[in-house]
């Protein structure tokens, strides 16, 4: 379990009651201050507030007693529940109250809030903007994948009056989700990373995705600004929703922030914007839109190019997002966190450009939420893999057959690929194929839990090391 601490400027119970319309239990001291909100009772520290949220797998109300025993100052609970055995504030619905309280907290603060959304690259863009800004300013960004109606408020609670900025990632599953998040965060700057056909099962159409992502631009004040990936085919469509200046970034000539002299090696991306050169320690040209968004945001808020360059040079890739790992005798490109057709294409391009004298193996899981087009997208993925100088292919999931069929039709040797409907069969095949020096790409949608392949490789290395240690003469 990752332990996340979300500290905020001290708040009194009285302020919380005003913000949420809640009612304090008898005997609860309204002058008590708190500076942390948690939704996991295991993360309670003395003086923090436990917010009991109902969920699909468990109900936070079942852990109120545990939170109190761990030293919570008080707990926020639904008013229709009783018998808590501890200090509580009762609200009509804890989920809605969390949003109202976060919105109230945001209104007490002056830091610049930057919202980041898009179909691909949200987390990488968020992290690059933070890396650039942190070279000159003090601020925060969303933690991990905290980008929904629960995660965004918790991320927002990290902000303090002393901060200069907050970079908040905004995800969406349905129309209106971004609008609701913007009502809480009240961003002055909006960044659209790009729009591609993902989550089609939920949105129904590409046009609906465009409209939903554009909710961020509609929420910006007239004196704010938006940064949009101008190389995205839908850039103009989404920008039309803005009521403030829109800045386009990309490689094409019409972009205000245009990348030139782009060079992508296995461990570094370099490019120019105007007369200024930037270097970022990442693998793959597909990181360029995120980098340009960071350069644009930092420049527009007044930072010098030299400072921006220093910040970007310190950028570190987030877990499971194109991380290059040397695990034992293998090079593993851990891109296991998520996948869609666009990010899969970028991963194939990275593998094609990767220089090695050994095998290149792609281990891919299903791309989910593609609706009726899922079969075609996976078939196309197989074709891309076959055309990307990849030696071996392991496809895992319900759509593994379509991936294998596409690769076979594109000329890949049938003996160098395997359809793996079960995860165990994937590991068995990988164990047979993997040799010292091989380069391994691991990628798939979040639900496929492809990080298990990386964990398996780590265990294999540990076992090899243990055997080597046992074989050393005493």
Tell me: domain 109-313, CATH 3.40.1190.10, correct?
yes
Secondary element (H or E) of residue 442: strand 439-443
Q: In the sheet that 7-12 helps form, which strands lie side by side, from edge to edge?
A: 7-12, 33-38, 49-51, 74-78, 88-91, 23-24
Secondary element (H or E) of residue 154: helix 151-156
Tell which phi-psi region holds residue 320, choosing left (phi > 0), alpha (psi between -120 and 50) or beta: left
- Class of the CATH-defined domain 323-468: alpha beta
Q: How far is CA 321 from the centre of its chain?
A: 9
φ, ψ for residue 435 (rounded to 5)? -130, 160
- Residue 56: helix, strand or coil by DSSP? coil
| Average pLDDT along the chain | 94
DSSP 190-243: EEE----S-SHHHH-SHHHHHHHHTHHHHHS-TTSEEEEETTSTTHHHHHTT-S
Q: Which of 180-184, 270-274, 319-323, 384-388 has the lowest mean pLDDT?
A: 319-323
Range 295-305 average pLDDT: 99
Range 36-43 average pLDDT: 95
Please, are residues 20 and 97 in contact by the beta-carbon 8 Å criterion? yes
d(C-alpha 56, C-alpha 38), whole Å:
18
pLDDT for position 341: 95
φ, ψ for residue 239 (rounded to 5)? -65, -25
* Binding region for ATP: 118-124
**Nearest by Cα to 370 from 119, 153, 182:** 119
Q: In the sheet that 323-327 helps form, which strands lie side by side, from edge to edge?
A: 323-327, 330-335, 439-443, 360-365, 392-396, 417-420
Helical axes 451-471 vs 423-433, angle rounded to 10° = 50
pLDDT for position 200: 74
Q: Does the pLDDT of residue 2 top 60, yes or no?
A: no
pLDDT for position 395: 99
Residues composing the chain: 474
d(C-alpha 89, C-alpha 36), whole Å:
15
Q: Does the pLDDT of residue 445 top 80, yes or no?
A: yes
Domains of the chain, residue spans: 7-96, 109-313, 323-468
pLDDT in tens, 240-276: 999 999 999 999 999 999 999 999 999 999 999 999 9
Secondary element (H or E) of residue 432: helix 423-433
pLDDT for position 471: 54
Q: Does the pLDDT of residue 1 top 90, yes or no?
A: no
Percentage of residues in the chain with pLDDT exceeding 90? Answer: 86
Tokens 């610049």, residue located: 112
pLDDT for position 5: 40
Tell which phi-psi region holds residue 433, choosing left (phi > 0), alpha (psi between -120 and 50) or beta: alpha
> What token pair was written down for 230?
């101008």
* Binding region: 118-124
In the structure, what pLDDT confidence band is assigned to residue 468 with cuts at 50, 70 and 90? Answer: low
Q: Which of 17-31, 225-239, 277-291, 367-381 has the lowest mean pLDDT?
A: 17-31
- Class of the CATH-defined domain 7-96: alpha beta
> What token pair was written down for 16?
């919380």
In the structure, what pLDDT confidence band is assigned to residue 336 with cuts at 50, 70 and 90? Answer: very high
């Amino acid at each position: 379990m990752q332990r996340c601490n979300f500290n905020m400027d001290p708040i009194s119970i009285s302020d919380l009651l005003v913000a949420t319309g809640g009612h304090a239990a008898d005997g609860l001291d309204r002058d008590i201050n708190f500076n942390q909100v948690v939704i996991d009772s295991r993360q309670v520290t003395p003086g923090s507030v436990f917010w009991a949220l109902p969920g699909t797998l468990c109900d936070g109300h079942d852990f109120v007693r545990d939170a109190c025993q761990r030293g919570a100052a008080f707990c926020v609970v639904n008013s229709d529940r009783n018998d808590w055995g501890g200090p509580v504030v009762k609200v009509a619905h804890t989920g809605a109250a969390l949003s109202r309280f976060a919105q109230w907290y945001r209104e007490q603060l002056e830091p610049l809030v930057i919202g980041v959304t898009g179909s691909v690259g949200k987390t990488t863009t968020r992290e690059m903007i933070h890396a650039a800004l942190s070279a000159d300013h003090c601020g925060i960004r969303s933690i991990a994948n905290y980008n929904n109606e629960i995660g965004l408020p918790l991320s927002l609670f990290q902000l303090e009056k002393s901060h200069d900025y907050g970079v908040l990632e905004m995800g969406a599953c349905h129309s209106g989700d971004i609008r609701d998040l913007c009502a809480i965060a009240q961003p002055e700057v909006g960044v659209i990373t790009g729009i591609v056909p993902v989550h089609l099962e939920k949105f129904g159409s590409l046009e609906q995705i465009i409209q939903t992502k554009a909710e961020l631009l509609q929420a910006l004040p007239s004196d704010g600004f938006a940064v949009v990936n101008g190389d995205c085919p839908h850039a103009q469509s989404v920008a039309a929703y803005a009521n403030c200046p829109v800045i386009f970034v990309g490689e094409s000539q019409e972009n205000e922030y245009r990348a030139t002299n782009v060079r992508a090696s296995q461990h570094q991306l370099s490019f120019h914007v105007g007369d200024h050169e930037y270097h970022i320690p990442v693998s793959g040209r597909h990181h360029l839109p995120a980098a340009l968004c960071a350069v644009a945001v930092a420049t527009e808020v007044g930072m010098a190019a030299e400072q921006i360059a220093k910040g970007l040079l310190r950028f570190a890739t987030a877990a499971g997002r194109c991380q290059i790992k040397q695990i034992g005798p293998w090079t593993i490109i851990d891109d296991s966190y998520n996948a869609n057709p666009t990010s899969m294409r970028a991963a194939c391009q990275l593998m094609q450009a990767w220089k090695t004298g050994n095998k290149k193996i792609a281990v891919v899981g299903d791309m989910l939420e593609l609706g009726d087009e899922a079969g075609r997208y996976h078939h196309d993925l197989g074709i891309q893999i076959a055309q990307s100088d990849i030696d071996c292919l392991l496809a895992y999931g319900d759509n593994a057959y379509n991936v294998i069929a596409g690769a076979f039709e594109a000329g890949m040797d049938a003996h160098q690929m395997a359809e793996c409907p079960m995860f165990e069969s994937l590991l068995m095949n990988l164990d047979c194929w993997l040799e010292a020096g091989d380069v391994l790409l691991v990628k798939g949608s979040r639900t496929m839990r492809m990080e298990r392949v990386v964990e398996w490789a780590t265990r294999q290395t540990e076992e090899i090391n243990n055997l080597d240690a046992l074989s050393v003469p005493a």
